[in-house]
Amino acid sequence: MKAVKHTTEAVKPKQVLHRSLRLRLVLWYGSLIAVALGFFGLLFLFLTTDAITKSVNSALQTEARVAMVDVLDDVQGAPPYWPDQLTMRVVDTYRNPGVVVEVLDTHNQVRYPTSSGSRIPLSTDTMRSVLAGQAPVIYESEVDGQHVRVQALAIRAPTHGVSSNANGTPMGNGPVIGMLLVAKSLADVDATMLLLRTLLLLSGVITLVGTLIASWLIATRVLRPLSELVATARAIAASTVRGTRLGNLSWRVPQPRGRDELAQVMETFNEMLASLESATEAQRRFVADASHELRAPLTTIQGNLAFLQRHVKELPQEERQIMLADAHKETIRLAELVEELLVLACADANNDTPLELQEMEPDKECRPSAPPVELDRVVLQLIRQLRKRLSGEGSQVQLEVGRIEPSRVQGDDESIRRILLILLDNAIKYTPIHNDGGISRVTVSLEQNDGQAVLRVRDTGIGIDPEDLPHIFERFFRADRARSRQGTGLGLSIAQTLVEQLRGNITAESIPGKGSTFSVLLPLDA
Ligand code: ADP
């Protein structure tokens, strides 16, 4: 991870990106929590109501049992059954607060009134069903403005004694002679239920609001890096560098702490910016270097031709020849430069094409085909040609062949020849003739090592300074600052690009004043 150069502190994150995302997240959390709270709240309420209802019903049953004992004590086993007045001892004794008792005969006549004298409401259906000897009926109603639960049960005459029903309430064995109504106030129950509902609602609302706030804060915190990323991307898109619309790629997104997915997104984004920045910078440098290199020969040609045009008549023949030869030499250099730039452009285009596509379209102009190449044959052939050229030029450099192992590699003849030619040209160019008896020698060898063909070009030339060595494969780099030898500074970068295209590797070792060795490693054809 490269060091962060600039951060977007100056660029305020626009709140556009995550507004909807954050809102959606919060709404999702909120809805989930609301559903969960609602479900558990209702369940709790249902269970509590059920438990309270059961306990009220059981209290009602107890009251009814006690009152029935009093009624059966007073009524007779034979007509007219009813005494003039009923005495409800237990009710009168304890005056159970919130409990009222009423006794009716089969004609709906009140035999024992409630303590306040008000009637306990009773529907005809309930009365009929109870008088028909059905099970006790429980219902809710209002007595003296109070919400009550009522139990209505039949009174049977104790004609043949008294027995108990399933609830333990004493019952006569004779005919149904009336009805006992016991009403219990639900004021306490209602108050408890109201308190419970209020508490549940309040705690539900508080929990929901708390969850919404917490999820809003969490979403804001989690999404902040994303909004910073968007802000940075927008700032880059909106910025201009030296008047171009290229964008300032030196900006970086602040790296969040931790190693979570978002931190990885930020890191990857920053890495992408860094590689875009270096690629753009390399491209810019390349264009600047290329135009600079192209301008130099053009200036010479232009100058020479302009001078010749003006002074063609007065210039001696010999001088005219020299100026034309200079111009011609520069056009050759220009052509060489354009040719090399074209090779690099083609190689770059190839490198940008995915491997599968390269293999699918092998015949494209810029694209090398990839049949196996007999490397040893290419090397020996090239050496023969170069030897001829060297002896033709009268060069004293000895071009020697070292150990050559037959090797087949995947690649194209043309690229391999070009790589070898660049290395041999350089070796010859940078190996001066020693007048002190030293040997000026260039040796080529080809061996196999670990599934790779290792092609070595060794010279006894001027060597390369250690500080220049790491840069020699850069485009337009020339360690020979005095420009004492012809060259464009593109040869080695072309060689490296071509070697990499063949999935190989190129390295250089050198001792200044003693010589250099360039090694090309290419995978052997299986
Ligand atoms: P050029 O056209 O200048 O030779 P290259 O890209 O082929 O460009 O080489 C880059 C630089 O590396 C050269 O300018 C030279 O300084 C250095 N160099 C390359 N090969 C050798 C060598 N065999 N011996 C010494 N220096 C070399």
Atom of ligand 1 nearest to the CA of 479: 16
384 pLDDT higher than 70: yes
Task: Give, using CA atoms, the residue closest to atom 23 of ligand 1.
Answer: 427
Say if CB 104 and CB 178 are below 8 A apart.
yes
Rg (CA), the chain: 53
Q: What dihedral do alpha carbons 399, 404, 410, 411 form, nearest 10°? A: 10
pLDDT per residue as tens digits for the range 446-500: 999 999 999 999 999 999 999 999 999 998 888 876 567 778 888 999 999 999 9
* Omega of the bond leading into 80 within 30 degrees of 0 (cis): yes
Question: Which atom of ligand 1 is closest in space to residue 489's alpha carbon?
Answer: 8
Count of other CB atoms within 10 angstroms of residue 203? 12
Is the beta carbon of 479 within 6 A of some atom in ligand 1?
yes
Phi/psi region, residue 210 (left: phi>0; alpha: psi -120 to 50; beta: rest), is alpha
Report the nearest atom of ligand 1 relative to the CA of 427. Answer: 23
478 alpha carbon – ligand 1 mean position (Å): 6
Q: Kindly report the protein residue whose alpha carbon is nearest to atom 19 of ligand 1.
A: 426
Give pLDDT, residue 369.
Answer: 52
Count CA atoms within 13 Å of residue 38 on its CB side: 6
Express each pLDDT in 87-132 by its tens digit: 887 666 556 668 889 999 999 899 998 888 889 999 999 999 999 8
For residues 461 and 432, is the Cβ–Cβ distance under 8 A?
yes
CB 71 within 8 A of CB 85: no
CA–centroid distance, 519 to ligand 1, in Å, is: 14
CA 151, 154, 158, 163 torsion-angle sign: negative
User: What sign for the dihedral angle of Cα 414, 417, 420, 423?
Assistant: negative
DSSP sequence for 391-426: HHHT---EEEEEEE---EEES-HHHHHHHHHHHHHH
Per-residue confidence (pLDDT) for residue 164, from 0 to 100 = 78
Is the CB of 136 within 6 Å of ligand 1?
Answer: no
Nearest in space to 420 (alpha carbons), one of 524, 492, 368, 316: 492
Q: Is 477 in the pocket of ligand 1 (CB under 6 A)?
A: yes
| Residue 457 Cβ contacting ligand 1 at under 6 Å | no
Q: What's the predicted TM-score (pTM) here?
A: 0.54
Give the pLDDT of residue 13: 46
How many Cα atoms within 13 Å fall on the side-chain side of residue 452? 15
Nearest-angstrom CA–CA distance, 347 and 414: 13
- Hey, is 439 helix, strand or coil? coil
Give the separation between CA 143 and CA 120, rounded to whole angstroms.
6
Instruction: Let me know if 437 is exposed, middle or buried by CB neighbors in 10 A (0-12, 13-18, 19+).
Output: exposed
For 364-383, what is each residue's pLDDT tens digit? 445 555 578 999 999 999 99
The CB of 472 under 6 Å from ligand 1? The reply is yes
Q: DSSP label at 524?
A: B
Q: How far is the CA of 267 from the centre of ligand 1 (A)?
A: 38
Ligand 1 contact via 487 beta carbon (within 6 Å)? yes
Q: Read off the pLDDT of residues 170-218 as tens digits, 9 standing for 90 and up.
A: 888 888 999 999 999 898 889 999 999 999 999 999 999 998 899 889 8
Burial (CB count within 10 angstroms: exposed 0-12, middle 13-18, buried 19+), residue 259:
exposed
